[in-house]
């Protein structure tokens, strides 16, 4: 997997160098030019400097494997993704937070070891945002044993693969080209949307994904349909993507609903193991991201319910894989000073 990692790090270094190659004076000049970005008839900027925000959330990653001819059944793996409680506090532009697990409703399906780190910013100017994430899960359960395991009955113990480990690292940036809509109002409530508005958006980024196991994750009953891919054990890829889309916010008094949809394509460089030997590949892969937010945003308090869904699909010889990422969160906060 070393070559794939080298590609990822090289591209990330190039992007970082391009961003920081501009002088401080050039950046200040551009910010001054954009100082009147928002239409104040549509967007209000809160003067508060301190924000406290507790949030409950579930974040999960589903792996769906299918033979390319679709003669067999789908094989679905999911992590044990318990509810988490997060606390964050903001002072002006700086935000710090932490989260911890709550008792899981899926404990009878195994215990996933996980670590996640998210860093991001959402600015006022051009709705520009920058995000970084690092997510590692170890331990997935087979979510559909009734269709791929012979003689499995409801009430039987789920198959848990403690050796199935995934790693996802990503870096992305986005802009939304409208003076009348605010992503800060939708995402972190540091602004307020006053009227209905929409605008076109574009997101681009790079991500590295890796999957490792000790032995094949294709159940015995399905291996006949996968040919060379029946002994699939691991893979890694770097994906460079561009996703154009559209965002729209509907407002009624202090209540709002924001829909954000992006559809695009990624160029993927692959390294994978279908048995004893490694192989390489490259392909274009379709990508989709959808975000729906419902919220209440008053002068001193806010509440937000958010659903985010994204998917990637790619193939390796006789195997097709879909990666589905889902986040469901419910939170609220207070503004002080």
| Within-domain flag for 24 | no
User: What's the pLDDT score for residue 168?
Assistant: 94
DSSP 122-165: E-SGGG-EEEEEEEEEEEEEES-HHHHSTT--TTSPPPEEEEEE
Does residue 275 lie in a domain region?
Answer: yes
Triad 215, 219, 221: Cα angle to 5° = 140
HSE-up (13 A, CA, CB side) for residue 148: 24
Which residue do the tokens 């899926």 mark? Answer: 106
Query: Does 31 reside within a domain?
Result: no
Strands 234-252 and 197-212: antiparallel
- Per DSSP, helices labelled H in the chain are 2-20, 24-33, 145-148, 183-187
Closest CA to 78 of 325, 254, 337, 333: 325
Q: What is the average per-residue pLDDT within 219-226?
A: 92
- 5 within a domain of the structure (yes/no): no
pLDDT band for position 190 (50/70/90)? confident
Q: What is the mean pLDDT of residues 288-295?
A: 96
pLDDT at 141 over 70: yes
pLDDT at 120 (0 to 100): 81
pLDDT tier for residue 200 given thresholds of 50, 70 and 90: very high
330 in a structural domain: yes
Both tokens of 123, joined, read: 């600015």
Q: Could you tell me if residue 133 is inside a domain? A: yes
Q: What pLDDT does residue 275 have?
A: 67
How much of the chain exceeds pLDDT 90, in percent?
A: 50
Measure the CA–CA gap between 261 and 48, rounded to whole angstroms.
30
- The alpha carbon of 275 is separated from its chain's Cα centroid by a whole number of angstroms, namely 30
Question: How many whole angstroms separate alpha carbon 67 and alpha carbon 211?
Answer: 18
CATH value at residue 104: 2.40.128
Contacts of 12 (CB under 8 A, 6+ apart): 171, 206
* pLDDT, tens digit (0-9, with 9 covering 90-100), for 16-74: 445 444 455 554 555 454 445 778 899 998 887 788 889 998 888 999 999 999 999 99
**Per the structure, how many domains does the chain have?**
1
pLDDT at 36: 59
Cα–Cα distance for residue pair 115/138, rounded to 1 Å: 9
Over the stretch 254-289, which tens digit does the pLDDT of each residue have?
999 999 999 999 999 998 887 667 788 899 988 999
pLDDT digits (tens, 9 = 90+) for 201-215: 999 999 999 999 999
Tell me the C-alpha distance between 128 and 54, whole Å.
25
- The pLDDT, as a whole number, for residue 205 is 94
Q: What angle do CA 181, 247, 242 make, to 5 degrees?
A: 120
pTM, two decimal places: 0.82
Q: What is the percentage of the chain residues whose pLDDT exceeds 70?
A: 86
| Residue 147 near residue 178, CB atoms below 8 Å | no
Q: Where are the extended beta strands (E) located within 194-254? A: 197-212, 234-252
- pLDDT (0 to 100) of residue 281: 86
Kindly state whether residue 33 falls inside one of the protein's structural domains.
no
Instruction: Name which residue leads in pLDDT, 13 or 284.
Output: 284
Q: How confident is the model at residue 195 (pLDDT cuts 50, 70, 90)?
A: very high
Average pLDDT over residues 281-302: 92
Nearest 5°: the CA angle 9, 261, 238 is 20
Domain assignment of residue 199, yes or no: yes
Handedness of CA 102, 103, 109, 112 (dihedral sign): positive
Q: Which of 56-60, 194-198, 295-299, 327-331 has the lowest mean pLDDT?
A: 56-60
pLDDT of residue 83: 83
Q: How confident is the model at residue 320 (pLDDT cuts 50, 70, 90)?
A: very high
> How high is the pLDDT of residue 15?
52
* Domain coverage including residue 134: 43-336
């Amino acid at each position: 997997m070393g070559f794939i990692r080298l590609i990822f790090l090289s591209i990330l270094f190039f992007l970082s160098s391009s961003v920081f190659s501009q002088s401080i004076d050039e950046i200040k000049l551009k910010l001054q030019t954009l100082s009147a970005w928002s239409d104040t008839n549509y967007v209000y900027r809160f003067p508060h400097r301190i924000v406290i925000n507790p949030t409950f959330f579930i974040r999960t990653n589903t792996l769906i494997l299918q033979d390319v001819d679709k003669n067999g059944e789908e094989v679905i793996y999911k992590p044990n993704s318990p509810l988490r409680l997060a606390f964050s506090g903001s002072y002006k532009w700086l935000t710090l937070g932490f989260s911890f697990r709550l008792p899981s409703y899926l404990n009878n399906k195994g215990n996933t070891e996980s670590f996640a780190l998210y860093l991001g910013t959402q600015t006022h100017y051009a709705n520009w945002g920058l995000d970084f994430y690092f997510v590692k899960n170890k331990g997935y359960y087979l979510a559909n044993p009734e269709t791929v395991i012979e003689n499995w009955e409801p009430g039987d113990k789920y198959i848990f693969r403690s050796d199935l480990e995934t790693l996802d690292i990503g870096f992305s940036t986005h802009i939304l080209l409208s003076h009348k809509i605010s992503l800060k109002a939708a995402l972190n409530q540091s602004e307020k949307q006053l009227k209905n508005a929409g605008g076109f958006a574009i997101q681009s980024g790079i991500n590295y994904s890796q999957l490792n196991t000790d032995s094949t994750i294709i159940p015995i009953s399905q291996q006949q349909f996968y040919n060379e891919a029946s002994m699939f054990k691991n893979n890694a890829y770097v994906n460079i993507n561009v996703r154009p889309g559209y965002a729209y916010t509907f407002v009624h008094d202090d209540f709002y609903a924001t829909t954000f949809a992006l559809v695009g394509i990624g160029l993927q460089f692959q390294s994978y193991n279908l048995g004893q030997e490694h192989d390489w590949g490259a392909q274009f892969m379709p990508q989709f991201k959808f975000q729906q937010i419902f919220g209440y945003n008053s002068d001193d308090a806010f509440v937000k319910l958010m659903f985010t869904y994204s998917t990637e699909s790619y193939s390796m010889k006789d195997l097709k894989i879909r990666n589905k990422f889902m986040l469901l969160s419910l939170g609220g906060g207070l503004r002080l000073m």
